[in-house]
Amino acid sequence: MDDLSYYGSLLLVIALAYMFFQHNNSLLLLITLAVGVYIIYSHETGHTATEFKNEIVQSIDEEAGNFREKKGIEQEHY
């Protein structure tokens, strides 16, 4: 089923790109080609945008985790 959805989505991207090319809509053509490149990249490498986002969030969380202790900031109690 994975191969069917992969090839189906590529076929859809090709059809949309051809349609946008025929109607001289270059912006949507470029967006469609970018989506196609992302589909091929994520299928070949296994890296997705969600995985990249999670790595960035985890990195920021690790850096900011002990910020108060590193800087010696006291938390005020109201």
Rounded to 5 degrees, φ, ψ at 32 are: -65, -40
Distance (Å, rounded) from C-alpha 30 to C-alpha 20?
A: 9
Q: Tell me the percentage of the chain whose pLDDT exceeds 70.
A: 86
Question: For 23-29, what is the mean pLDDT?
Answer: 95
Residue 26 C-alpha from the chain's centroid: 22
The pTM for the full model equals: 0.66
Helices and strands (H and E) in the chain: how many: 4, 0
Encoding tokens for residue 53? Answer: 């986002």
